Amino acid sequence: MKKIVSFFGEDSELFRELNKKAEEYAGSLGVEYKWALQNPYSREDVIRELRQADAGIIDVEPYGEDIFSQVKDSAKLLVRVGVGFDKVDLKAASKNGIAIARTTGANTTAVAEMALTLMLSCRRRIAKAQTRTQSGVWVKDVGNEIIGATVGIVGFGAIGRRLAKLLSGFDCRILAYDPFPNEAALKELGAESVSLDELFRESDCISIHVPYTEETHHMVNKERLEMMKPTAVIVNTARGNIIDEDALYEVLKAGRIAGAGIDVFAQEPLPTSSPLLTLDNAVLTPHVSSQTVESLWNIYKMAIDISADFFAGKDSRHILNPDYKEHA
């Protein structure tokens, strides 16, 4: 019987229930499943577990040659939860004959809903209102509605498109920037394809949904932030280093833009010394946009399905490095 070992999840009742369900589901497919809780993460434990498994379900920690070279004779597939894979060395994986997959689509709705939530929170200045109310200050800081606003979506993939669909009920004008525009999707969702600079100049709300690469590192820099309207807000549920956090702090501190909703950071956990924590016009959350009860189960189920298909010799659109076969 093939075996999957999962390193995804925290020591909580929710994750214990999810992993029990995952074990039962994998068993129904004729696959053994083990949850190897990492609390804290241990590279040595991961290597030991993968040496005894045929596939692994991995989280956000770095995976490179130092791990692949030691597990290549056993674990032939690693499934990254979520869509980001910037910390996985695909070239090293291929060199060692290891396939890398991701659970694309499993958390699309969760992330899109969170982006909308942060957008609404920033527009209505919820963070400032809560802080003042908790401190006994009864002051009404009036914000803006999102109805009829112009929303710019940077990255019009699955999550960006899902956000556009959610926004359709708010009668928003949708601007979309994507280096590879999907004309059919743009037309279906009534979105306008524009340049990145035009999007930053015209939007009332901006939501980031691009992967983190060398090209997108600090894509949102001081120059682009200063293009924004003073009443505009920006939301990031993608990856922290896409936005220059120092520049973001400066424009927020100066009131140059109205607010920001940030779920991802250059360094995670966010250091307690971060100046972003001193702002009352920033809504900050601990990288939870992809995590709802529903999306977490979608992730587990999809990761198991991808693994079962892999064991059965089926090709998968979720595999990121098909050239692994050259070294398998």
pLDDT in tens, 61-97: 999 999 999 999 999 999 999 888 888 999 999 999 9
Residues 199 and 118 in one domain: yes
Is 152 in contact with 203 (CB distance < 8 Å)? yes
| Number of domains forming the structure of the chain | 2
Which residues are within 8 A (CB) of 153 and not within 5 positions of it... i.e. 6 or more apart? 160, 163, 164, 174, 175, 176, 177, 191, 206, 207, 209
State residue 129's pLDDT score: 92
Domain boundary among 269, 284, 299: 284
Question: Mean pLDDT score of the chain, rounded to an integer?
Answer: 96
Using 50, 70 and 90 to split pLDDT, how confident is the model at 328? confident
State residue 232's pLDDT score: 98
The stretch 204-217 carries a mean pLDDT of: 96
Residue 156: CATH number of its domain = 3.40.50.720
The stretch 127-146 carries a mean pLDDT of: 93
The stretch 290-318 carries a mean pLDDT of: 95
pLDDT digit string, tens, across residues 157-195: 999 999 999 999 999 999 999 999 999 999 999 999 999
Half-sphere exposure of residue 240: CA atoms within 13 angstroms, side-chain side: 17
Closest CA to 258 of 113, 146, 148: 146
Residues 258 and 118 in one domain: yes
Q: Does the model's pTM come out above 0.85?
A: yes
**Residue 153 lies in domain:** 108-284
State residue 139's pLDDT score: 92
Q: How many angstroms from the chain centroid is the CA of residue 287?
A: 8
Residues 129 and 210 in one domain: yes
Q: How many other C-beta atoms are found inside a 10 Å radius of the C-beta of residue 234?
A: 30
State residue 316's pLDDT score: 84
Residues 165 and 275 in one domain: yes
Residues 181 and 249 in one domain: yes
Residues 131 and 279 in one domain: yes
State residue 82's pLDDT score: 85
Using 50, 70 and 90 to split pLDDT, how confident is the model at 254? very high
Residues 99 and 142 in one domain: no
User: Given the structure tokens 């802080």, which residue do they identify?
Assistant: 131
The stretch 121-138 carries a mean pLDDT of: 94
State residue 291's pLDDT score: 94
Residue numbers annotated as active site:
239, 268, 287
Residues 267 and 309 in one domain: no
Q: E strands within the chain?
A: 3-6, 32-35, 55-58, 77-80, 99-102, 150-154, 173-177, 191-193, 205-208, 233-236, 259-262, 282-284
| pLDDT above 70 as % of the chain | 100
Residues 121 and 200 in one domain: yes
State residue 315's pLDDT score: 82
Q: Is the pLDDT of residue 277 over 90?
A: yes
| C-alpha–C-alpha distance, residues 272 and 203, integer Å | 31
Q: Is the pLDDT of residue 107 over 90?
A: yes
Residues 120 and 267 in one domain: yes
State residue 31's pLDDT score: 98
Residues 231 and 266 in one domain: yes
Which residues are within 8 A (CB) of 46 and not within 5 positions of it... i.e. 6 or more apart? 7, 36, 38, 56, 61, 67
Residues 155 and 263 in one domain: yes
